Amino acid sequence: MTGPTELLRKPATTDTVTSTRGATVTRLARTRRGPLAEGAARLRRRARSVGGGFARAVAWVLETVSPAGMLLVGLVGVGVAAGAAFGWFEGWVVAATAGALLLVCVPFLLGAHDYRVRLELDRDRVVAGSEIRGTLDLVNGGARPALPGVVDIPVGRGLVEAHVPLLRGGAHHREELLIAAQRRGIIDVGPMTISRGDPLRILRREMSWPEVQRVHVHPVTVTLPPSSAGLIRDLEGAPSNQLVDADLSFHAVREYVVGDSQRHVHWKSTARTGRLMVRQYEESRHARIAVLLDLDLDGYSNDDEFEQAVSAAASLGVQGVREGRDVLVGVSAELDAADRGAVQSMRALPTVTPRVLLDGMSGLEGSSAAGAGAGVIRLESVAALVAQSFGDLSIAYLVTGSLVPLQRLRRAAVTLPPGIAVVAVRCEPGAEPTARRSKELTVLTLGELGDLGQLLARGALR
């Protein structure tokens, strides 16, 4: 049984137009409504239109009028109110002066931008302490002259300004830029914005180009002795339990099977047994070099010490990659503060080529492993994860700061698989380079980055 509301409801008539093209179906439904409903719908559309126009107007004012311009607009309103309400002549003077300043600034906004802008950088990868040279080409594509303006180029957290003079139609302007890359990191150049306004910076117009160019600032590295990145026996590989038909590590002889190469026939065994016998080998696998960098800033006395540690780890990793070794560069992964104590995570940087490795080192940032906002795990935990997830290690480098006690370094060394050489590199700028050996590990004190090659060349791993 229908209720009274349903009995009084007017049936709706729907006109439907359906279009099918390929896999697309479009349906337009129109419902006939009464005059009141049509009027309410028109009112809502008008209100949305007015609201959208008001929002666009407010956005335009906020983009065009600077804080100084807002102050002048306020002075106009206050001056007019004071002059009309109290008859103050001074109020009219303030309002007239502020209004005149606003009117004088308006002509600087007239005319449309029609610029074609291109920014070219000479390099997208540099070493910390270098400079990047760029060329800014700007062409007035319009037929009318373009007033002077300023091109704002965000460079990382900084800003580079290039002043553009008055350009006639089709005129070209070139500006040479110099970007300093003093510290390691990743620098985003852009997006560029060109602004034009009055000399008092009361009114302005802006035009943006969304293109962003990324520059990797690599850490400083040094060349190390050729054999310092691994043990000599790794050149031939360590034997495994996997048996193969050809390799360097001899295992046993077996009876010949159709398809075996005659080069591996063992003639003495063949003569003794009267059957054709062939050699069998154990597969040799090259051992992996692990470079573990401590990202816990509590172990470093200052930022320069942390940067020296990054450079030392990068030097060890790059040397291993250049020698064709299997290199693992491990650091702590970023953790959420809510996961502190419950989650341990590490990440391995890509080591396909030295450039790819240095790109990964450019974006490394340290954090604290203690306190409520912990973002990384300690070096001991990273070593434990490496021991669980990566096998066949022959040597491990633990790169950290001067504030890490030796007890923690020993715990990290014991956590790693037994039988491998563990070298702890403690970075302490200005300290005397020393090498101390114990049963668990060798501790190198690095006063300068250049000392690393000398310590390894003197036989720190022997």
For 38-47, the pLDDT digits (tens) are 777 788 888 8
Tokens 């001056």 found at: 79
Give the model's pLDDT for residue 374.
59
Q: Is the pLDDT of residue 240 over 50?
A: no
Task: Report the alpha-carbon distance of residue 291 to residue 360 in Å, rounded.
Answer: 14
Q: Is the pLDDT of residue 113 over 50?
A: yes
Task: Pick the range with the lowest mean pLDDT from 13-22, 285-294, 359-368, 449-458.
Answer: 13-22
Give the model's pLDDT for residue 284.
54
Give the model's pLDDT for residue 376.
87
Q: Is the pLDDT of residue 1 over 50?
A: no
- What's the pLDDT tens digit per position in 258-316? 878 878 888 888 888 888 888 887 655 556 789 999 999 999 999 999 999 999 999 99
Average pLDDT over every residue of 312-335? 90
Q: Binning pLDDT at 50, 70 and 90, where does residue 232 land?
A: very low
Task: Report the alpha-carbon distance of residue 462 to residue 453 in Å, rounded.
Answer: 15
Q: Is the pLDDT of residue 228 over 70?
A: no
Give the DSSP H or E segment for 360: helix 354-362
Average pLDDT over every residue of 196-220? 85
Q: Binning pLDDT at 50, 70 and 90, where does residue 233 land?
A: very low
- What's the pLDDT tens digit per position in 56-86? 877 767 777 888 888 888 888 888 888 888 8
Q: Which residues contact 17 (CB under 8 A, 6 or more apart)?
A: 26, 27, 28
Which position has the higher pLDDT, 95 or 235?
Answer: 95
Token pair, residue 238, equals 């360590």
How many other β-carbons are positioned within 10 Å of the β-carbon of residue 96?
Answer: 14
Q: Binning pLDDT at 50, 70 and 90, where does residue 28 land?
A: very low
Q: Binning pLDDT at 50, 70 and 90, where does residue 230 land?
A: very low
Q: Which residues contact 251 (CB under 8 A, 6 or more apart)?
A: 243, 280, 281, 282
Q: Is the pLDDT of residue 201 over 60?
A: yes
- What's the pLDDT tens digit per position in 405-450? 999 999 999 999 887 889 999 999 999 999 888 888 899 999 999 9
Pairing state between β 172-181 and 204-209: unpaired
Give the DSSP H or E segment for 141: none
Give the model's pLDDT for residue 8.
34
Give the model's pLDDT for residue 6.
36
Which position has the higher pLDDT, 458 or 344?
Answer: 344
Cis check for the bond before 429: say yes or no (omega within 30 of 0): no
Give the model's pLDDT for residue 329.
95
Q: Is the pLDDT of residue 176 over 70?
A: yes
| Highest averaged pLDDT of the listed ranges 105-114, 341-350, 418-427 | 418-427
Q: Binning pLDDT at 50, 70 and 90, where does residue 229 land?
A: very low
Give the model's pLDDT for residue 277.
87
Q: Is the pLDDT of residue 461 over 80?
A: no
Nearest to 169 by CA among 110, 120, 111: 111
Task: Report the alpha-carbon distance of residue 153 to residue 189 in Å, rounded.
Answer: 7
| Highest averaged pLDDT of the listed ranges 306-310, 335-339, 455-459 | 306-310
Q: Is the pLDDT of residue 371 over 60?
A: no
Whether the CA torsion 300, 304, 307, 312 is positive or negative: it is negative
Give the model's pLDDT for residue 12.
41
Pairing state between β 130-140 and 185-189: unpaired
Give the model's pLDDT for residue 447.
93
Helices (H), 222-289: 267-273
- What is the value of pTM for the model shown? 0.69
What average pLDDT is seen over the chain? 80
Give the model's pLDDT for residue 149.
79
Q: What percent of the chain has pLDDT over 90?
A: 32
Task: Report the alpha-carbon distance of residue 170 to residue 218 in Å, rounded.
Answer: 40
Average pLDDT over every residue of 156-180? 88
CA 185 from centre of chain:
8
Task: Pick the range with the lowest mean pLDDT from 68-72, 104-108, 160-164.
Answer: 104-108
Q: Binning pLDDT at 50, 70 and 90, where does residue 5 land?
A: very low
Which position has the higher pLDDT, 174 or 286?
Answer: 174
Which position has the higher pLDDT, 3 or 382?
Answer: 382
Q: Binning pLDDT at 50, 70 and 90, where does residue 328 land?
A: very high
- Helix and strand totals (H; E) in the chain: 10, 22
